[in-house]
């Protein structure tokens, strides 16, 4: 059983991060939330959208990398995440291309 412990310790233990890291990430998430809310009260035109989405992406990335330990995860995990996000964007881009290019031909319904 002692052996078992050691061996398992090598392979199975994810990275044990210090508490300070969790607090730092948490702080960043809170600051991000505060900024998005604050920015929403100022009219910056399309910048509003860019800031809101930029911060959301940053927050999500922080959660994925640190809370979900992906920073220390295998390459395969990265592939799964990046791959599925890529697929999602592919769906958005292709479907929206249809809507954006409607009417280019000048024939209703084409």
By CB under 8 A, name the binding residues for another protein. 1, 3-5, 7-14, 16-17, 19, 22, 26, 29-30, 33, 36-37, 40-43, 48-49, 52-53, 55-56, 59-60, 63-64, 66-68, 73-74, 76-77, 80-81, 83-85, 87-88, 90-92, 94-110
Q: Closest approach of Cβ 65 to another protein, in Å?
A: 11
Neighbouring residues of 42: CB distance < 8 A, sequence distance ≥ 6: 48
Can you list the alpha helix ranges (DSSP code H) found in the chain?
A: 2-11, 19-40, 46-62, 75-101
CB of 4 to another protein, least distance (A): 4
User: DSSP character for 63?
Assistant: I
Closest approach of another protein to the CB of residue 107, in Å: 5
Distance CA 61, CA 19 (A): 19
């Amino acid at each position: 059983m002692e052996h078992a412990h050691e061996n398992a310790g090598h392979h199975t233990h994810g990275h044990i991060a210090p508490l300070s890291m969790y607090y730092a990430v948490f702080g960043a998430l809170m600051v991000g939330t505060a900024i998005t809310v604050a920015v929403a009260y100022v009219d910056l035109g399309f910048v509003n959208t860019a800031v809101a989405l930029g911060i959301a992406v940053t927050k999500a990335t922080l959660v994925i990398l640190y809370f979900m330990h992906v920073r220390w995860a295998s390459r395969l995990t990265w592939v799964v995440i990046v791959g599925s996000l890529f697929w999602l964007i592919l769906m958005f881009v292709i479907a929206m291309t249809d809507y954006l290019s409607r009417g280019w031909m000048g024939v209703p319904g084409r």
